């Protein structure tokens, strides 16, 4: 288990916030359109991941600026920052980090609530769909911009009847930074 | 307050809009702009239907088309685009023009999406690039056109909606009511 | 007690119909709902009293039968909600409160990206919500 952390440990600059329903409904309509466009559910999962990746790549600068976070060099800290600051800042919910592998290269982000899934009830025809898969892409894209190559996937999904959303995060490779960043202290 | 108070960062909405256009116009149908436009419009239409349902939950029914269109210009616009329509014109024969002098999504998109290098170039060749920018901006209006058509359709106003960009970030939406 | 409830779409297409009385009453309720649609149409198009109440979503008592009272509600998006009770004496506030919650449940169901507009509502979350609303009918006077 990760050490307990309080959300207040990570203050971040205020961001413009809007009612979530437009975002939630837009995402839902995109997923439904993709399911119509592609017969294979697997392909829809892939498209959502790609969309997320492109978003993550663009979002990271904004995130670093607003969160006042100096670049995380440790994967362990990075996971905490995603869970406590990233999710909170963008989606208004926070995740917990748990299930670390022995070598510290893998962990899970656990969410028991997530605005993307509001109003959603999956029909039986959507077996195999990871409805919120865009989130995996966002995390993967953002981490790649801070030199961490990762594999990110859903292993539990409340829309499929699991007790929580669980995103498995695996560090594949950490590329050395061009300009090593030293903390002042 | 419709929705019940859950909030997300506005950049989530912007990111999704940008990526929606990139997905259909650049990745999936780069050589079929009309097909990409239809798909994006259909996504907007579904959301428009749903938003009309949500935003009118606590309201008495609209008496006529004009009331429904005024609702779109004021309350709907304020919820979705965070201001009201600046000017509403009609020819009294079923055509309504909704003009927004500073359309929120175009201001957000032009600022946020241009990479640093491109932005600098824009300053130098501002005039030359202006028309190209307007053209590109058009892609970001397929979704709002669908939103407006979906919302009005659900409020009993069957219509077609198109958009025109004049000078960024101003644009107008033309609603043609079907008879 | 509530005998049955229904949601009917813009083209008078049934979206949801649920009876809460045991027995072979299904056909009868279909008939009641069907007849009430004509009355809704009439109420909306030829209001007896012109004025502010003209466009109110709550339409009140549609018609009483020997065994039931039928109430109606019409949303801005022309979705009809119908309530059939066995009580002869129902409080107006309870009926209004019921429709308010019934409509809210419908709006949530219509927000499901997999709900097809105009098609029957099959989501289990909606059925559960409606069952709860029906159970608590008249239990509290909160409007």
Q: Each residue of A12-70: pLDDT tens digit? A: 778 899 999 999 999 999 999 999 999 899 999 999 999 999 999 999 998 998 888 87
Please check the confidence at residue B39 and state whether its pLDDT lies above 60.
Answer: yes
Q: How far is A118 from chain B (nearest CA, A)?
A: 10
For residue B109, the model assigns a pLDDT of 66
CATH 2.60.40.10 is the classification of domain B10-177: no
pLDDT at B124 over 80: no
Q: Which residue has the higher pLDDT, B112 or C132?
A: C132
Domain range annotation of chain C: 2-135
Under DSSP, is residue B32 helix (H, G, I), strand (E, B) or coil?
coil
> What is the arithmetic mean of pLDDT over B99-111?
83
Q: From CA A97, how far away is CA A76, in angstroms rounded?
A: 9
pLDDT tier at A6, thresholds 50, 70, 90: very low
CB atoms near residue B150 (< 10 Å): 26
pLDDT along chain C (143 residues), means of 10: 93 93 78 91 74 76 88 96 90 94 97 96 95 87 46
3 state DSSP class of B89: strand
Confidence of residue A185 (pLDDT cuts 50, 70, 90): very low
Given this model, what pLDDT does residue B160 score?
A: 98
Give exposure, B119-143, as e/b (b: 16+ Cβ within 10 Å). Answer: eeebeeeeeeeeeebbebbebbbbb
Structural domain containing residue A104: 40-174
Domain count, chain A: 1
Please judge whether C113 and A21 are an interchain contact, meaning their C-beta atoms are less than 8 angstroms apart: no
pLDDT on residue C50: 54
Give the right CATH number for C2-135 from 3.30.450.70, 3.30.2010.10, 1.20.1260.10, 3.60.20.10: 3.30.450.70
From C33's Cα to the closest Cα of chain A, the distance in A is 28
pLDDT attached to residue C43: 86
Parse chain B into domains and list their residue ranges.
Answer: 10-177
pLDDT at site C30: 86
Whether C50 has its CB under 8 Å from any CB of chain A: the answer is: no
- In angstroms, the CA A140 to CA A52 distance is 8
* Lookup: tokens for B14: 């912007």
Is the Cβ–Cβ distance between A18 and B13 less than 8 Å? yes
Residue B172 has pLDDT above 80, yes or no: yes
Neighbour tally for B60: CB within 10 Å: 15
Q: Which of B44, B56, B69, B154 to mutate to test the interface with C (most CBs of C within 10 A)?
A: B154
Tokens of B92: 């009294």
Count CB-CB contacts under 10 A for residue C10. 16
Predicted confidence at residue B127, as pLDDT, reads 60
Provide the shortest C-alpha distance from residue B64 to chain C (in Å): 11
**Sign of torsion, CA B95 B101 B107 B108?**
negative
- Return the CATH number at A164: 3.30.1380.20
C114 lies within 8 A of chain A by CB: yes
Record the pTM.
0.90
Determine the average pLDDT of the residues in A139-165.
96
Q: How confident is the model at residue A8 (pLDDT cuts 50, 70, 90)?
A: very low
CA distance B118 to chain A (A): 15
List the single best residue of C77, C109, C110 to mutate versus B (max B Cβ within 10 A): C77
In chain C, residues with a C-beta closer than 8 Å to the C-beta of B50 are 110-111
pLDDT band at B152 (very low <50, low <70, confident <90, very high): very high
Integer Cα distance of B172 and C136 in angstroms: 48
Confidence of residue B168 (pLDDT cuts 50, 70, 90): confident
pLDDT band at B117; cut points 50, 70, 90: very low
**A–B: how many Cβ contacts below 8 A?**
99
- Calculate how close chain A gets to C120, using CA atoms only, in Å: 13
Average pLDDT of the segment spanning A144-152: 95
d(CA A38, CA A48): 12
* B135 Cβ contact list (under 8 Å, min separation 6): none
Chain A residue numbers with beta carbons less than 8 Å from the beta carbon of B11 are: 15-16, 59, 62, 90
For B39, which residue in chain A has the nearest alpha carbon?
A: A33
- Nearest Cβ partner for A120 among C112, C122, C124: C112
Out of A31, A119, A126, the one facing C111 most closely (by C-beta) is A119
Given a cut of 60, is residue A7 above it in pLDDT?
A: no
Asked whether the predicted pLDDT for residue B111 surpasses 60, the reply is: no
Q: How many CB atoms lie within 10 A of CB B53?
A: 26
Contact across the interface for B8 and A25, Cβ inside 8 Å: no
Chain A residues interacting with chain B (CB cutoff of 8 angstroms): 15-23, 25-27, 29-30, 32-33, 37, 47, 50-51, 54-55, 58-59, 62, 89-92, 115, 118
Let me know if residue A17 belongs to a domain: no
Residues of chain A contacting residue B2, judged by C-beta atoms under 8 Å apart: 19, 21
For residue A2, is pLDDT > 60? no
For residues B69 and B148, is the Cβ–Cβ distance under 8 A? no
Cis amide prior to B76 (ω within 30 degrees): no
| Structure confidence at residue B100 (pLDDT) | 97
Sheet containing B95-100, strands listed edge to edge, beginning at the edge strand earlier in sequence: B87-90, B95-100, B171-177, B159-165
């Amino acid at each position: 288990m990760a050490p307990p952390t309080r959300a207040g440990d990570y203050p971040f600059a205020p961001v413009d916030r809007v009612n979530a329903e437009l975002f939630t409904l837009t995402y839902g309509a995109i997923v439904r359109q993709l399911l119509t466009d592609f017969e294979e559910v697997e392909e829809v999962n892939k498209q959502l991941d790609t969309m997320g990746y492109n978003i993550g790549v663009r979002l990271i600068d904004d995130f670093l600026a607003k969160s006042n976070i100096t670049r995380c060099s440790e994967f362990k800290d990075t996971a905490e920052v995603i869970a406590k600051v990233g999710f909170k800042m963008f989606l208004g919910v926070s995740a917990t980090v748990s299930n670390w592998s022995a070598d510290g290269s893998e962990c899970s982000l656990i969410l028991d609530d997530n605005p993307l899934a509001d109003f959603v009830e999956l029909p039986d025809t959507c077996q195999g769909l990871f409805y919120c898969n865009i989130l995996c892409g966002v995390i993967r894209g953002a981490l790649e911009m801070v030199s961490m190559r990762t594999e990110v996937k859903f292993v539990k999904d409340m829309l499929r009847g699991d007790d929580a959303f669980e995103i498995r995060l695996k560090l594949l490779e950490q590329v050395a930074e061009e300009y090593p960043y030293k903390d002042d202290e | 307050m419709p929705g019940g108070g859950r909030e997300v960062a506005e950049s989530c909405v912007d990111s999704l809009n940008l990526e929606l256009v990139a997905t259909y116009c650049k990745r999936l149908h780069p050589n079929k702009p009309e097909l990409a436009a239809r798909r994006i419009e259909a996504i907007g239409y579904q959301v428009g239907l749903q938003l009309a349902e949500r935003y009118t939950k606590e309201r008495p029914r609209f008496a006529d088309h004009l009331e429904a269109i005024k609702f779109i210009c004021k309350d709907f616009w304020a919820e979705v685009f965070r201001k009201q329509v600046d000017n509403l014109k009609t020819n009294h024969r079923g055509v309504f023009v909704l003009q927004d002098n500073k359309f929120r999504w175009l201001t957000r998109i032009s600022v946020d999406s241009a990479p640093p290098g491109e932005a600098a170039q824009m300053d130098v060749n501002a005039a030359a690039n202006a028309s190209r920018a307007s053209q590109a901006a058009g892609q970001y209006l397929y979704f709002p056109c669908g939103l407006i058509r979906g919302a009005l359709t659900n409020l009993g106003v069957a219509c077609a909606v198109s958009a025109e960009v004049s000078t960024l970030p101003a644009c107008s939406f033309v609603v043609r009511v079907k008879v | 007690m509530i005998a049955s409830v229904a949601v009917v779409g813009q083209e008078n297409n049934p979206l949801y119909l649920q009876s809460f009385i045991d027995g072979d009453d299904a056909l009868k309720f279909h008939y009641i709902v069907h007849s009430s649609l004509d009355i809704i149409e009439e109420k909306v198009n030829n209001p007896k009293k012109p004025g502010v109440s003209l466009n109110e979503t709550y339409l009140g008592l549609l018609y009483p039968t020997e065994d039931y009272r039928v109430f109606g509600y019409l949303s801005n998006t022309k979705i009809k909600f119908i309530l059939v009770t066995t009580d002869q004496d129902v409080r107006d506030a309870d009926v209004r409160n019921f429709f308010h919650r019934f409509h809210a449940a419908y709006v949530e169901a219509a927000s499901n990206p997999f709900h097809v507009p105009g098609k029957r509502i099959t989501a289990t979350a909606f059925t559960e919500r409606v069952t709860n609303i029906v159970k608590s009918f008249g239990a509290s006077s909160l409007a």
